[in-house]
Structure 1
């Protein structure tokens, strides 16, 4: 009888983690050109992936199916792109 309880607890935890995702259309609409990396991070949380090249940085929040990508130059957001966010 303990196994169904564990299964329900694991399902509830997984659901709560996905419900907390900051990769949403509302948060995407809060992004503005000229925001700093820290300002964007305050809205979206820690990025899942970043790559740096000279003075440019590109960061992605989410996964390959649903994501927000922000490109920064000199610590200012210049380009935004999203896929399959709600």
Structure 2
């Protein structure tokens, strides 16, 4: 294997390892977790919207893998995921 091929392979593996939207992290989510705990696990959300103490945030994108979490008073109420590996 050439040096260039090894470098490209290493970079791909590193990028894959950095993706926090995965089945392992999804399985760590629990109802009642604080929004801060979720952000520590998954990083900053891709988008959030809400009103009156309720919010819905998502991580990732719907074309690949994503996690969607609904919060009530900044605590996990419901969560779902799709395309997780």
- Which bracket does the TM-score occupy, shorter chain normalised? 0.7 to 0.9
- How many residues of Structure 1 are paired with residues of Structure 2 in the alignment? 79
Which runs of no fewer than 5 residues in structure 1 stay unpaired?
none
Secondary structure of the residue aligned to 1:26 is: helix
Q: Which digits, 9 at most, give the CA deviation of each residue in 1:30-53, with x for residues without a partner?
A: 001000100111100111111112
Which runs of no fewer than 5 residues in structure 2 stay unpaired?
none
Q: Which digits, 9 at most, give the CA deviation of each residue in 1:36-77, with x for residues without a partner?
A: 100111100111111112211111000113100110001110
Runs of 4+ in 1 over 6 A off after TM superposition: 9-12
- Calculate the TM-score normalised by the size of structure 2: 0.80
Q: Which residue of 1 aligns with 2:75?
A: 76
Please, what is the CA RMSD of the aligned residues?
Answer: 1.8
Structure 2 distance, partners of 1:55, 1:26, is: 28
Secondary structure of the residue aligned to 2:70 is: strand
Structure 1 distance, partners of 2:83, 2:60, is: 10
- Calculate the TM-score normalised by the size of structure 1: 0.79
